[in-house]
Structure 1
Amino acid sequence: MTLRCCLLLVVVAAVTRSVVGTAEVMSHVTAHFGKALEECRDESGLSAEVLEEFQHFWREDFEVVHRELGCAIICMSNKFSLLQDDSRMHHVNMHDYVKGFPNGEVLSGKLVELIHNCEKQYDTLTDDCDRVVKVAACFKVDAKAAGIAPEVAMIEAVMEKY
């Protein structure tokens, strides 16, 4: 093998490890964040069916479209002080929240960037629940494209820790 080929293999291995690492961190963030869902069910008007579906947020077949899902995300985010008064992301608190998980520092910047970019796309929507559900749908698509979305099995594997 040439030196160039060896270097390429090292870079590919590092990038692959980094993507898997961020997806693993995202599984911790998702599992912990999801613990607030049941508490927020009544407050947000989330139906039992949507509540059940929301537990599978990262699945391909789950569509992030219900307004009450946005209300639930606001409620859940407020449990962890992740939003400002205008129901937009509190950047510092979100960074700190994600950094609180094992290897969270590898994900916090990218996660905040993706959410912020999605928030900018829907900034003109005045209904907080509608805006937040659209931001969540955007974030899901962008996180998958960036390779940081966890596999459902990853989330299930860390659920008992929270």
Structure 2
Amino acid sequence: MLKLKNYKIFVTLLVLIIAKNNLAVPEDIKEQFFNAIQVCATESGVDSDKIQNFLRGEYETASHELKCFVNCFANKMSYIADGEPQIEEMKKSFEKLPNFDMKKFDKATEDCKSQYTGADECEKGFKYMTCRRSIMEN
């Protein structure tokens, strides 16, 4: 059952992403995205304000809950599996989006592989995904 809090988080995230990138997100990605947001927000216990701040690029002082949310999201989206980044799964997902830039994707793949490090899985996933994000958005 959909909880109002999770629905608000999903809508906020999706609106921010679509507005920022002027994207027409395919239905299959919306559904996977929605499910990942709902599950990971609940599992990590992260506050929706912290998720919104993260999407605005404010993550230098990210809480452990936010790091776990990002790692969970990456796992649910199949961007990380079995403790390893899944480049082909990311590529399959991102290729469906308008304005996909393969050069940036390849640069992020190369530049961020050394960033998959940290004290725990949450930190590893967070560092890796934020590295990719910073390259893909610039």
TM-score over 0.5 for the alignment?
Answer: yes
Per the alignment, residue 44 of structure 2 pairs with: 44
Matches within 5 A, 1:57-96: 57-60=54-57, 62-64=58-60, 65-86=62-83, 88-96=84-92
Letter in 2 for 1:38: Q
Distance in 2 (alpha carbons) for counterparts of 1:129 and 1:121: 13
TM-score by length of 2: 0.61
CA deviation after TM superposition for structure 1 residue 53, in Å: 2.6
Distance in 2 (alpha carbons) for counterparts of 1:25 and 1:91: 24
CA deviation after TM superposition for structure 1 residue 28, in Å: 4.9
Matches within 5 A, 1:8-157: 24=21, 28=25, 32=30, 35=34, 36-46=36-46, 48=47, 51-60=48-57, 62-64=58-60, 65-86=62-83, 88-104=84-100, 107-123=101-117, 125-144=118-137, 147=138
CA deviation after TM superposition for structure 1 residue 43, in Å: 1.3
Gaps of 5+ in 2: 1-19
Give the conservation status (yes or no) of the 8 Å contact 1:95–1:109: no
Give the conservation status (yes or no) of the 8 Å contact 1:83–1:89: yes
Number of paired residues? Answer: 114
Give the conservation status (yes or no) of the 8 Å contact 1:115–1:135: no
Gaps of 5+ in 1: 1-22, 148-162
Identity of aligned residues (%): 24
CA RMSD of aligned residues (A): 3.2
Distance in 2 (alpha carbons) for counterparts of 1:25 and 1:93: 23
Distance in 2 (alpha carbons) for counterparts of 1:140 and 1:101: 15
